Amino acid sequence: MSQRLRLATLVVVLIVCALVVRLAWVQIVWGPELSVLAEQQRTRVYNDPARRGEITDHEGNQLAFTMQARSLTVSPILLRSELRQQQKLAMDVEGTSTGLSSEALDAELDEKVEGVMERMSTEIPRMIKDSGAESSKVDEKEILEKLHADTHYEVLVRNVDPDVAADIAREFHGVAADHQDIRQYPNGAIAQNIIGKVSMDGQGQFGFEASGDPLLSGVNGRSTEDVSATGQVIPGSLRDQVPAMDGNDVTLTLDLDLQTYVQQQLEQTKAEVLAQSASAVVLDVATGEVLAMANTDTIDPNGNLEKQLEEGKEFGNPSISHPFEPGSVAKIITAAAALEEGLTTPDEVLQVPGSIHMAGVDVKDAWDHGVVPYTTTGVFGKSSNVGTLMLADRLGEEKFAEYLEKFGMGQSTGIELPNESAGLLPSLEQWSGGTFANLPIGQGLSVTTLQMASIYQALANGGERIEPRIIDQVTTPEGEVLEQNEPERVQVVSPEIAKTTVDMFRSVVQSDPAGVQSGTGQEAAVEGYQIAGKTGTAQQVDPETGAYSMSDYWITFAGIAPADDPRFVVAIMMDDPERTGTAAPLFHNIASWLLDRDNIPTSSPMEGQLILQAGQ
């Protein structure tokens, strides 16, 4: 063998050995890493979002529901690369790339890719417009800018009909029709303080959407599939399929018609009396269920949120989160406690002076008077601070503190909503000079509108306080009704004393032409029905001085309708109205609307009048 042949053979052997070593290196050293990269490039993991549960009122009226839509998305960097590959392959097949320099070929490919993207930017809006959607929501220039973006993810158009989105995705390579849920609130601002809203990513953000998120949200599903370099699905590669578990549907105790009426009444009253705000709660006496819970300035989630927030609208729920001093409306606790302990009777005549020295301070009535023979009924019908403290003094501090606890003061109600305040009640150990002169007349403690309603619900319900509830029923996607925890119940006073107390507080709405036997809340009366309730006026604390203001007040009213066969409790708070008066007219409007709407039988006529002031 010649030297030249041996040299050629050696070269071939060396080349083969190099190739073998290279192949071994790729397979053994780089192989695992390249395999992982290849799998990452071809693997697609798809999420199947769970449907968020629907929220309805107790009659099945929709309060919140989810509408399915699609977002058209792309990966601009990947899209341009794949379009370039497609155009290069097409030119190779046609033979038009032969003979072109690399610079000329790049320019030709750039032009072709640009043409495809321009067609996408014009055709996508046209297809959406032809489907009946508003074309003003889709901007051709904006789409083209996003297709040129140096990013891996862009949303071209949101809220596209699923069928239209599927057509567009089939028409244009690289465009995905991503699942998108749109939460709908068909009643706008009505009950939004209770319902709340979800964030852009579908998580509960405010109200029941937040506190009920575990019930409503469900669990997303997922699946895995392989695709080719050109984005085509590889048959038979579908795996790891986990089906989505939709959220539960929740029926609330709310009455949408009543909620609407109460919100309208609150807004109207706020405007008339120039109050800072107002809130109202309506409870079902027998169950403690919330039929309405309304505030002024509730935001409309369908409107311009930023503008509404600037105008003072809010997502919050002051009915449970903003406590206030209730004033005389809380005197019913003193009344029920004194009756339960056998320390007085409705007809006992008390010689009530114009002022009283108690717990180290002097307390006067809201009007000047000498000694007046008020009955116990009259003490509360006339809203005498002095008479109330005379009865509280018989109870003593420790016994009175026990009843405050039984009525739920200083405790959250347990309502299934977020950000509930427990109010404020100083513990007995913290009572100082003047505390026992304030608490029995509704000063020195704070309650929410819901807590105030709960006090009256207990007395209207035979003395049994039931935790207020907002959830009526939870239903799974399969139609199974989930059992709910029973609300806690506390027997505050006996059924007999509860009835006696309610009957006694009918004096508040009593009218007497002579004025002697008239109560402080005559405007709350509803013709044909017996009504019991209590007015309240509480001084607000001046933030500058830390003392009670002589010009700023909380105006309250809580009442029971009908008093002889209790069905509803209505509690109202108005924050610092400029025009004086009571909340009694607003109670009248709400109670009369309810009684008429539900065809509640009229009450038996009262026999004579309740005696508020003896010796007349």
Please state, in angstroms and rounded to a whole number, the distance separating the CA atoms of residues 341 and 506. 21
For residue 614 the two structure tokens come to 């003896």
In Å, the largest CA–CA distance within the chain is 148
Answer whether 430's CB lies under 8 Å from 245's CB: no
Give yes or no: 136 in active site: no
Half-sphere exposure for 432 (CA within 13 Å, toward CB): 2
Please state, in angstroms and rounded to a whole number, the distance separating the CA atoms of residues 188 and 56. 14
Q: Angle 449-460/495-504 helices, nearest 10 degrees?
A: 110
Q: Which of 121, 277, 279, 328 is catalytic?
A: 328
CB atoms within 10 A of CB 495: 12
Answer whether 286's CB lies under 8 Å from 461's CB: yes
DSSP run (H or E) holding 82: helix 76-94
Please state, in angstroms and rounded to a whole number, the distance separating the CA atoms of residues 254 and 472. 9
* Residue whose structure tokens are 């890493």: 33
Answer whether 570's CB lies under 8 Å from 282's CB: yes
User: Burial code of 104-132, b = ≥16 C-beta within 10 A, e = fewer?
Assistant: eeeebbeebbeebbeebbeebbebbeeee
CB atoms within 10 A of CB 385: 25
For residue 211 the two structure tokens come to 């506190």
Q: What is the DSSP letter of 361?
A: E
Residue type, 559: G
> What percentage of the chain's residues is helix, strand, coil (to nearest 5)?
40, 25, 35
Please state, in angstroms and rounded to a whole number, the distance separating the CA atoms of residues 401 and 390. 16
Query: How many helices (DSSP H) and strands (DSSP E) are in the chain?
Result: 20, 23
Q: Is 318 helix (H, G, I), strand (E, B) or coil?
A: helix
For residue 513 the two structure tokens come to 């032409």
Please state, in angstroms and rounded to a whole number, the distance separating the CA atoms of residues 442 and 471. 30
DSSP run (H or E) holding 7: helix 3-24
Nearest of 414, 434, 416, 435 to residue 426 by alpha carbon: 435
Answer whether 279's CB lies under 8 Å from 296's CB: yes
Q: What is the DSSP letter of 458?
A: H
Please state, in angstroms and rounded to a whole number, the distance separating the CA atoms of residues 366 and 14. 113
Nearest of 309, 66, 63 to residue 190 by alpha carbon: 63
From residue 610, alpha-carbon distances to 166, 347, 374, 615 in Å are: 74, 9, 12, 13
With the C-alpha atoms ordered 30, 35, 38, 40, is the resulting torsion angle positive or negative?
A: negative
Answer whether 294's CB lies under 8 Å from 266's CB: yes
Please state, in angstroms and rounded to a whole number, the distance separating the CA atoms of residues 150 and 94. 31
With the C-alpha atoms ordered 316, 320, 322, 328, is the resulting torsion angle positive or negative?
A: positive
Catalytic residues, which ones?
A: 328
